[in-house]
Chain A
Amino acid sequence: MIPWLLSLSLAFAADPAEEAQRVELERARAQVADQVHLAVFDLIDELVYRLSQEPVFSSPTPVVLAGVSVPVGLGTGLQALMENHLAGVMLANPETNLRLVHCPQCTAVVVRSSAKGTVVSRGVDDPALLAELGVEAGRHALFIDVEAEGAFLVLRARLTELSAELPIVWSHTLSTSTATPALLRDPTALKSAEEARAEYLNVLNGQGAVVIPARVNVRTYALPEGDNAGTAPPPFIWLQTGVELSPTVARRWTSSMMLGYALIPQAYQGLMAQARISRLVTGQARSLTHPDLYLFGGLSLSTVWGPGTASFRNNTLTLDEILTDTNLDEPRATFGAVHVGAELRLGNRVGFGFFLETLPSFTSSRNFGRYATLGPIEAHSLGAEVAFCF
């Protein structure tokens, strides 16, 4: 790669240069600009972060973005990216007290002729002329320069007061190296490098491939309707725990296997085994700063017993059955269920979900109504849950 670049540059230096070679060299430059632009953004983020922590001015001050220059050898495309990013980050962080203002007279090349001679300069270099052009006093000019120095990318910034003496009121120099990954900070919540690293380590330490969730969920069963309608089972409260696995830390897909237990003394007890697969729908990877929404589907196998579980049968309960169940054999039912639902996860620590569940073995039961019908599938049960992940 590099010898190829070198040969291209030598070819470029030769006179006349082949047009095709020049195009290839420009392509190589664009490729390098692509590679360094994240590092440039990182330096700009760091600069604005420092300005927001230690503002130069105590009150909002109009500032003209007078100059942004890129490393020698790279094109103006990177310059435009830098200007846009800088303006975006500064607007998102008004606590810097630097209020960007538009001043075409400041950045334009102006010509001034007087008895002393003719001076060609940029507006920011001739404050007296700016005053004549009606530019209000008290403005400052912000200059940004980025240069590649060996393995380092160095950003220099300075603020110059647009008065007759053009004093530099503040300057700063930052650098990053090729071996330093960009922090990719959120412009609205800038962090220091130390804070970002601590956050990154927290993510790595606290959010591995395996998470142990503990869930509390409540299932209600739809009341049956019509003649010969039976009695719906009572609401069931389940405590569940198990493991939740994800193939990557992005947690785009997760699967969980849970065991559950339900107990209401004198009413029912139950055991449940459940498997679920979830898919993140709010992005490609889970967010560190915003809630994540998952859609999920799964299967469960439950066995319940106790007086309150008599309705888990297909026929309508009779008075005899109720008396028999109470005095002699405790009713017991084992059944499978299929569920679909949605869950909102906060920081992958707390989740709130709801789901609809169908019980295929009770499709013809008179003891179950339906909350919804999705094609041939009837949702017999509606549930809500809260999950805590460890």
Chain B
Amino acid sequence: MFGLLPLTFALPFVMPQPGSWRDRDDAHNYTCTFMTLEQAQLARPGAVRPRGPRGDLYERDVVLCQERMLPLGLRLDADEAILSTLDARVSELAGAARSRRPDLEGATWLVEVYYPSPAVSAKIGFATKNALMAEGLGVSDRTPTLAAGDVQVITRMPPSEAYPTACRRYTDNGSLGAADVLLAVVLLDRQETALHAGLCAAGSWTWLR
């Protein structure tokens, strides 16, 4: 009972949620994960007291909070939304691509990213290639190309037509061979933070998500 008193007073200083001692912006710079005692002992060896041989007097769980590597405000919010969860996003995309088309496991996978910022685009491409490699797929650094005339026409089309058309042209001009498959990661709308993906194989375009 009396042990709860210091805990009650200490919590506002320790816990990262906004409150009297921590403003909202400050709290946003923490990411917190709820985990069991066993998981916490693996994540932070030595930091969490192990469960006693006869169990504990009370149930204990762990909330592990960590400060962001880069404070909010150092890059654009849209980029931050993509980059802060990049690994999970590309792993999901790679998994979805492989499970959707198991027949393409022996193909050579190429990756293209359509994102407004070249720097972020390169990051997404790099992460996607690594995620595909982690799925056990054969990946190439090659980039399929379009002729200047194709680009002029395709960039005037709406996305629903542009990507299938580009896919056909990649195949027709030979830059995407019969054993190649292109995974395109696309930001369709600058107002959204969801990444879409499509597959181009044998001149046929399929939206993954």
Contacts and interface: CB of A to CB of B under 8 A. Distances in A.
A165 B72 CA distance: 40
Nearest to A141: B141
Given A151-B67, A152-B69, A173 B74 contact: no
Contacts of A74: 70, 74
B123 A148 contact: no
Interface string B84-100: 11110000000000000
B71 A32 contact: yes
B127 A150 contact: no
A143 interface: yes
Interface in B60-111: 64, 66-76, 79, 83-87, 108
Nearest to B88: A149
Given A148-B83, A173-B130, A72 B75 contact: yes
A160 B141 contact: yes
Nearest to A69: B122
B25 A32 contact: no
Given A5-B74, A150-B68, A167-B108, A72 B142 contact: no
Contact of B72 (A2, A156, A158, A179): A2
Given A72-B119, A151-B67, A117 B31 contact: no
Interface string A114-127: 00110101001100
A71 interface: yes
Among B30, B31, B70, chain A packs the most CB atoms within 10 A around the CB of: B70
Interface in B17-57: 23, 25-26, 28-31, 44-45
Interface in A158-206: 158, 160, 165-168, 171-173, 175, 177-179, 197
Given A165-B140, A168-B140, A158 B130 contact: yes
A28 interface: yes
Interface stretch (B131-139, B155-163, B181-189): B131-139
A166 B140 CA distance: 5
B25 A3 contact: yes
Nearest to B177: A165
Nearest to A125: B143
Contacts of B147: 116-117
Nearest to A168: B139
Contact of B70 (A69, A71, A121, A154): A71
Interface string A1-24: 111011111100100000000000
A149 B69 CA distance: 7
B83 A147 contact: yes
A276 interface: no
Contact of B69 (A69, A117, A150, A166): A150
B134 A173 contact: yes
B206 interface: no
Contacts of B169: none
A145 B126 contact: yes
A153 interface: yes
B71 A173 contact: no
Question: Considering the complex of A and B, which 10 residue pairs feature the smallest CB-CB distances, nearest first?
Answer: A151-B66, A6-B73, A73-B75, A148-B69, A9-B73, A166-B141, A171-B133, A73-B74, A148-B70, A5-B73
Given A149-B69, A165-B140, 12 more contacts: A1-B71, A5-B71, A29-B74, A32-B70, A73-B74, A125-B141, A149-B86, A149-B87, A156-B126, A165-B142, A166-B141, A168-B133
24 contacts: A3-B23, A5-B72, A8-B73, A9-B74, A10-B73, A36-B69, A39-B69, A71-B70, A72-B75, A72-B120, A73-B75, A148-B70, A149-B84, A150-B66, A151-B66, A153-B69, A156-B130, A167-B108, A167-B139, A168-B133, A168-B139, A173-B87, A178-B66, A179-B44
